[in-house]
């Protein structure tokens, strides 16, 4: 059995009790009869319960008509009760090893249930079992209802993201301790991972150290390449704090003086990224924000080398809605939190990406990552 831990000072504020009600209303508006939510970010968002995904079913059942309940394996019940979910006006029930939890849920739902919203990340073996237990119910994605809620952060969530941003900034500020010529990316990455924990996270989500030509591969992680003098190095790192909120920030370093051409590339990228973070305001659409940086990079002749979207939402997951991408006409709203991370990648040569998390405010954008965005040349 594992012990649930929470930030007790902020736990209540982060997971307000009216969320189940808000989610139920949103489900009703979408024409769904119930939501079935398995362990993951949606369950934590709705109840504060950070449940482990297991082969045994844990499921929040949120009927549009009727009372919500959380069905958990009996051996997980103490952990569920001890979590913020235990303080909600919601029944928590354990199922025993010989019970069929899907049948338990089916028996408690009205027989008229025709459309259920299942957690976007529910395992296929569980959606299949629900299909068998509720043969008359069409399954749809609960995310269509919940992402609209999760996208708009409360002030308490914004505070949690800000603390995560400060934690990852402290790691970037220490980069000179670890990043130098003669070490491998993997050695540097191990030190960074230790620091991600030491500076205020409970989990390391990713560590990208792309040196020299590896900097041209956006999702390169770590390799045994030995970092060379003059190498550009892209460091993209993130973790999850005790509150459950994620950090994600990319800075570009050089170990010794980099090629002059690389400096020019970085200048263009920095100009684009600053223009984008400055452009954030309510009403601007996600695709308009993407275009702000893409146009600057294209005008400088690097258009074909900016090979990914500008950014992604962030919260209880490090990638969630809204996606800052061409084709997304969603207008930005106060409370939306997302990355702004344009990049330029010259294949097999070098590349760069600069990334901050930004929260849209009433009249602009608030950057959560505050370390310098210039090219940091380490000795
Ligand atoms: Zn990143
Ligand atoms: Zn990112």
**Residues of the chain whose pLDDT is less than 70?**
1-12
**pLDDT of the residue at 129:** 98
Domain with CATH 3.90.230.10 in the chain: 155-378
Tell me the ligand closest to 310's alpha carbon: 2
Q: Does domain 17-149 have CATH number 1.25.40.320?
A: no
**pLDDT of the residue at 13:** 85
**pLDDT of the residue at 187:** 98
Separation of CA 342 and ligand 2 centre (Å): 10
Separation of CA 238 and ligand 1 centre (Å): 7
Domain with CATH 3.40.350.10 in the chain: 17-149
Smallest Cα–Cα separation from 285: which of 333, 317, 243, 248?
333
Q: Please, which residues have CB within 8 angstroms of residue 155's CB and are 6 or more apart in sequence?
A: none
Smallest Cα–Cα separation from 243: which of 154, 175, 326, 362?
154
Separation of CA 312 and ligand 2 centre (Å): 6
Tell me the ligand closest to 249's alpha carbon: 1
Separation of CA 240 and ligand 1 centre (Å): 13
- Tens-digit pLDDT profile for residues 72-108: 999 999 999 999 999 999 999 999 999 999 999 999 9
Separation of CA 172 and ligand 1 centre (Å): 12
Which residues surround the ion ligand 1 when the cut-off is CB under 5 Å? 236, 248, 250, 355
Give the orientation angle of helix 143-151 with respect to helix 19-29, to 10 degrees.
130
**pLDDT of the residue at 8:** 40
Separation of CA 30 and ligand 2 centre (Å): 30
Separation of CA 219 and ligand 1 centre (Å): 9
Tell me the ligand closest to 206's alpha carbon: 1
Separation of CA 296 and ligand 1 centre (Å): 21
Tell me the ligand closest to 308's alpha carbon: 2
Smallest Cα–Cα separation from 282: which of 335, 326, 318?
335
**pLDDT of the residue at 21:** 96
**pLDDT of the residue at 111:** 87
Which secondary-structure segment (H or E) carries 14? helix 8-14
Separation of CA 9 and ligand 2 centre (Å): 28
CATH number of 155-378: 3.90.230.10
Nearest-angstrom CA–CA distance, 364 and 5: 35
Length of the chain (residues): 379
Tell me the ligand closest to 210's alpha carbon: 1
Tell me the ligand closest to 219's alpha carbon: 1
**pLDDT of the residue at 81:** 97
Smallest Cα–Cα separation from 329: which of 277, 272, 356, 290?
290
**pLDDT of the residue at 128:** 98
**pLDDT of the residue at 5:** 40
């Amino acid at each position: 059995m594992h012990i649930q831990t929470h930030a007790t000072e902020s736990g209540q504020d982060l997971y307000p009790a009216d969320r189940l009600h808000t989610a139920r209303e949103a489900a009703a508006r979408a024409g769904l009869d119930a939501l079935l939510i398995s362990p993951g970010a949606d369950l934590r968002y709705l109840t504060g319960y950070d449940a482990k995904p297991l082969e045994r079913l844990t499921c929040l059942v949120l009927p549009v008509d009727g009372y919500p309940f959380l069905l958990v394996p009996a051996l997980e019940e103490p952990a569920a009760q001890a979590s913020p979910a235990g303080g909600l006006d919601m029944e928590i029930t354990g199922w025993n090893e010989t019970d069929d939890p899907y049948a338990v849920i089916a028996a408690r739902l009205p027989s008229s249930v025709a459309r259920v919203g299942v957690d976007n990340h529910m395992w296929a073996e569980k959606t299949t079992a629900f299909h068998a237990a509720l043969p008359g119910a069409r399954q749809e994605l609960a995310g269509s209802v919940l992402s609209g809620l999760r996208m708009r952060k409360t002030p308490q969530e914004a505070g949690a993201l800000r603390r995560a941003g400060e934690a990852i900034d402290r790691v970037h500020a220490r980069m000179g301790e670890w990043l130098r010529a003669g070490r491998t990316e993997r050695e540097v990455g191990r030190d960074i991972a230790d620091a991600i924990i030491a500076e205020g996270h409970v989990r390391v989500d990713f560590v990208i150290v792309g040196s020299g030509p590896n900097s041209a591969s956006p999702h390169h992680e770590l390799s045994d390449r030995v970092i060379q003098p003059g190498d550009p190095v892209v460091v993209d790192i993130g973790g999850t704090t005790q509150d459950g909120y994620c950090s994600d920030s990319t800075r570009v370093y050089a170990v010794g003086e980099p090629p002059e051409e690389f400096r020019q590339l970085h200048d263009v990228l920095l100009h684009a990224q600053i223009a984008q973070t400055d452009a954030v305001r309510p009403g601007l659409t996600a695709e308009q924000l993407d275009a702000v940086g893409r146009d600057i990079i294209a005008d400088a002749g690097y258009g074909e080398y900016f090979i990914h979207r500008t950014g992604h939402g962030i919260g209880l997951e490090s990638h969630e809605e809204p996606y800052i991408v061409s084709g997304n006409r969603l207008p930005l709203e106060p409370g939306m939190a997302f990355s702004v991370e344009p990049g330029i990648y010259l294949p097999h040569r070098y590349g760069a990406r600069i990334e901050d998390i930004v929260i849209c405010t009433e009249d602009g954008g608030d950057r959560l990552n505050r370390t310098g965005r210039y090219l940091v040349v380490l000795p």
